[in-house]
Chain A
Amino acid sequence: MTAISVAGLVKTFGATRALDGLDLEVSTGEVHGFLGPNGSGKSTTIRVLLGLLRPDAGQVRLLDGDPWRDAVALHRRLAYVPGDVTLWPNISGGESIDLLGRLQGGLDPRRRAELLDRFDLDPRKKARTYSKGNRQKVALVAALASDAELLVLDEPTSGLDPLMEAVFQGCIREVRAEGRTVLLSSHILAEAEALCDRVSIIRHGRTVQSGSLDELRHLTRTAITAETVRPAAGLESLAGVHDLRHEDGRVRFDVDTDALDGALRHLTGLGVVSLTSAPPTLEELFLRHYGDELADDGTAAREPVRS
């Protein structure tokens, strides 16, 4: 069962190619992380999925419909939290929640009250007096109090404090337990690691990596710290071992997943006193995919800038 299916999506704005053949598959009932740095095309993709932008090329299916043609019918079944929530300055937060909920197809008043309480949001304040985080809470309460089968969340927590981040994660777990689908765009990797079943990483409007977190971890390295009886020599000659350093009688290195077994055998031969291994984080996945971009930026800076 597929909730969202995107293949070869292209969207251009004048000379800018915002989406350049993007692919995205989201199964029903999963929390799907949609990751990428600023300007990589996450929000543009989401706006195409919502029928706000018309794709230039590619196939887009959302809840078995065409997001452009069937926008209104599909929107009854989804709820959306924009990345940059702007509200009507003269309308209170509570009124905005009710309005958006009613336009979406109704919200559960008990859940609304409960969410206001959990997010610690004063619904009587006019939107102009809300901080960025509070505006985001308004959109989150409106979306979470609905019974939409698909939640489309565009960097929903970028203005929330850590306490509210925890509340948000609790809410998303409940949504998943109810069998609903979530598309969660983010650049906060800890959040994606904590919540997502699968992730897609995009860059420059293309999908560069997609899969479950387990699958993706195979593509990266495990960090090992070990203390051995005999001096840890010979590791540097093993294939797949990187960034080897000796500190305070310990040895630290990163090792490719397929070379892990050989590295551990080598260590046990030296007499292991203590060993810690850290699984690869999404942070490292991210840095590996965007590391070359950082290097590109370094060379680009030396070239004359045209604009």
Chain B
Amino acid sequence: MSTQLSEAPARPTAPDRPGRSSTTTGTAALFRFALRRDRVRLTVWIAAGTAMVALQSVSSQSFYDSPGALAAYRASVGSNAATIALAGPPVGLDTVAGAVAFEISATVMLIAALMAMFTVTRHTRADEEAGRTELLRSARVGRHAPLLAAVLLAALACAALAVAVGLGATATGLPATGSFVLGASFGAAGQVFTGITAVAVQVTGHTRSVYGLVGGLFAVFFVLRAVGDIEGNWVVWTSPIGWAQAAHPFSDDAVLPLLLCLVVAVVLVLGGFALLDRRDLGAGLTQPRPGRASATPWLRSPLGLAVRLQRGALLAWVLGLALLGVVYGALADSVETLIAGNEEALAVFGDPDVDDLVSAYLSTTFSITALLAAAYAVSSVLRARTEESDQRAEPVLATATSRSAWLGSHVAVALVGSALAMTASGVTTGVVRVLQTGEAAAFGRMVGAALAYVPAVWVVAGIAVALFGLLPRLAAALSWAAVGLFLVITMFAESFDWPGWVGDLSPVSWVPLMPLEPWTTGPVLVLTALAGALLAASFAGFRRRDLATG
């Protein structure tokens, strides 16, 4: 391995010492330690993914219990661009098993990707940022060992998810081969995101940026496969999520696309190791630039601080939802093509009003956008909790800053930011629709439909704010659980014909489905009042409670 200049005197080779060290020394110990730290977390991730598949399987089998019901389902989803955008390619819908795979695969792939991302990051960049890696590396631990251990753990978790889903789906009565292909498709998607994260943790020096980078890539890949699936063209092959879904469980059971995932995952991990060799411990690939010697006049209030801390995330979300608005708007034209090409749908619906179908599609996409904006709002509100638990709120609250002003600043960023994000998506969808239809009034309708969701988004944010004030320790877990619940309700309540009160649990479903349905003032007023009440409860609670101390 070593090269020598011819002039240089030959150096004696170092004698082999007992217990030779390599760059991977200590991997086994780190792997066991990481497994020990994550045994509960990973079990929860895997159990959640498996349970979703099993529940979907059981409910689909009871719901589509006749060929007629299945044909009606096939007709409706095969022609619904919004459903295809959210779920995947409308393949294999002639069996209940295929319908299960279609309904659940996107959600479980998200779970697999998140599990891989959090697992790799937790044991690499997060440890490095906290200074723990330095301590480990000072012991007999090789340069590559922490990343290798993390990647192995994530790979093991993805494999375990694949097997668990295969067993779970088989146990609920689905064909065994297809069940394991379905599980393997989730595992393969997870492995790609293991590789992506292995690269991302080298590129950026901060855990938060890793999550932003990997999450952003997931969104881009998801949109690419949505475009490809709706248009039914090659674009789907630009996305690893598209590869994983190309396995078509229960119909084609194709393994080749999954092998592509694994190859790319291995290449990405090797790339991660190559980048690791080119950077210093604790640093990213770029050196931090020096900042300002003194603060600008903006940075003089708690609001100025909250904006400064959150502006990056805010900008990314507004841009992301604006782009999503462009994609959703552009795909509206395909709704017509889809229905025209779907004979079953034509048979079921007769000759449908295309305008109504487009409106239905757009109103579904806006409710999904609203859930994404709510997720942003929750993450923004929880920034206040991170500031508190990381002890950065303490020096600020020890100045002449009241608790209400401090919390209010973060909440203001969350509320205004999520409203901006909704507006951005309405504006871009509106512009695209005006270009498509040449009808100027479409712009106002799209912006109005997007803005109608703002009070509902604020209620979700309000739940997080209330939890911060009243149950700070549980705030993060419960707020995200609420977002997850609302997402499941929006995606499944209608297609499974769940009782009305289940749908009503989600504030998003209180909003009129514009542009399909007309504007109604009542629910929006109620939502606004509810959001206000949640904020008031939170501020009262936060003023009375102790600040978290380290």
Contacts and interface: CB of A to CB of B under 8 A. Distances in A.
B138 interface: no
Contacts of B301: 102-103
Interface stretch (A119-127, A161-169, A197-205, A221-229): A119-127
Interface in A111-138: 123-126, 128-129
A103 B544 CA distance: 22
Contact of B290 (A71, A75, A88, A124): A124
A99 B292 contact: no
Contacts of B292: 92, 94-95, 124
Contact of B288 (A71, A75, A126): A126
A82 interface: yes
Nearest to A96: B295
Interface string A249-289: 00000000000000000000000000000000000000000
Contacts of A92: 290-293
B291 A95 contact: yes
B390 interface: yes
B291 A82 contact: no
A52 B394 contact: yes
A185 interface: no
A173 interface: no
Given A94-B295, A99-B295, A126 B290 contact: yes
Given A103-B301, A129-B288, A53 B546 contact: yes
A105 interface: yes
Interface stretch (B229-237, B398-406, B434-442): B398-406
Interface stretch (B11-19, B34-42, B302-310, B318-326): B302-310
A44 B401 CA distance: 20
Q: How large is the interface on B (under 10, 10 to 19, 20 to 34, 35 or more residues)?
A: 35 or more
Contacts of B309: 88, 90
Given A88-B309, A124-B293, A43 B549 contact: yes
Nearest to B391: A86
Given A72-B400, A92-B291, A126-B291, A84 B547 contact: no
A170 B335 CA distance: 76
Contacts of B394: 47, 52, 82
B132 interface: no
Interface in A6-50: 43-44, 47, 50
Given A84-B391, A103-B399, A91 B546 contact: no
B399 A100 contact: yes
A98 interface: yes
A72 B403 CA distance: 9
A135 to B, nearest CB: 11
A232 B549 CA distance: 57
Contacts of A207: none
B295 A98 contact: yes
Interface in B365-399: 390-392, 394-399
A95 B295 contact: yes
A243 to B, nearest CB: 41
A71 B394 CA distance: 13
A80 B288 contact: no
Interface SS of chain B: loop
Contacts of A65: none
A103 B400 contact: yes
B302 to A, nearest CB: 7
Contact of B400 (A43, A75, A152): A75
Which of B391, B394, B395 has most chain A Cβ within 10 Å? B395
Contacts of A139: 395
Contacts of B278: none
Which of A76, A99, A105, A126 has most chain B Cβ within 10 Å? A99
A307 to B, nearest CB: 19
Interface residues of A, number: 42
A82 B403 CA distance: 18
B291 A99 contact: no
Contacts of A71: 397, 402-403
Given A92-B291, A94-B295, A82 B395 contact: yes
Contacts of B291: 90-92, 94-95, 124-126
B395 A100 contact: yes
B386 to A, nearest CB: 11
A95 B391 CA distance: 18
A176 interface: no
Contacts of A129: 288
A52 B550 CA distance: 12
A291 interface: no
B392 A52 contact: no
B290 A72 contact: no
Nearest to A80: B398
B399 A54 contact: no
Contacts of A179: none
Contacts of B299: 95, 98-99, 102
Contact of B305 (A78, A99, A104, A128): A99
Contacts of B398: 50, 52, 75, 78, 80, 82, 152
A103 B290 contact: no
A87 interface: yes
A58 interface: no
Nearest to A123: B293
A100 B305 CA distance: 10
A65 to B, nearest CB: 13
A80 B393 CA distance: 13
B401 A72 contact: yes
B399 A98 contact: no
B546 A54 contact: yes
Contacts of A103: 300-302, 396, 399-401
Nearest to A104: B399
Contacts of B390: 86
A89 interface: yes
B402 A72 contact: yes
Nearest to B547: A52
A105 B400 CA distance: 7
A87 to B, nearest CB: 7
Contact of B392 (A53, A88, A94): A88
Contacts of A94: 291-295
A14 B295 CA distance: 41
Interface in B530-550: 544-547, 549-550
A85 B308 CA distance: 20
A102 B300 contact: yes
A249 to B, nearest CB: 50
Contact of A125 (B205, B290, B545): B290
Given A50-B397, A52-B547, A71-B402, 7 more contacts: A75-B399, A78-B398, A82-B391, A92-B293, A103-B300, A105-B400, A124-B293
14 contacts: A50-B398, A53-B546, A75-B401, A76-B400, A80-B398, A84-B391, A88-B392, A91-B291, A98-B299, A99-B305, A102-B300, A105-B399, A125-B291, A128-B288
Interface of A: 43-44, 47, 50, 52-54, 71-73, 75-76, 78, 80, 82, 84-92, 94-95, 97-100, 102-105, 123-126, 128-129, 139, 152
The 7 A-B pairs at the shortest CB distance, nearest first, are namely A92-B291, A98-B295, A103-B399, A80-B398, A95-B295, A124-B290, A104-B399
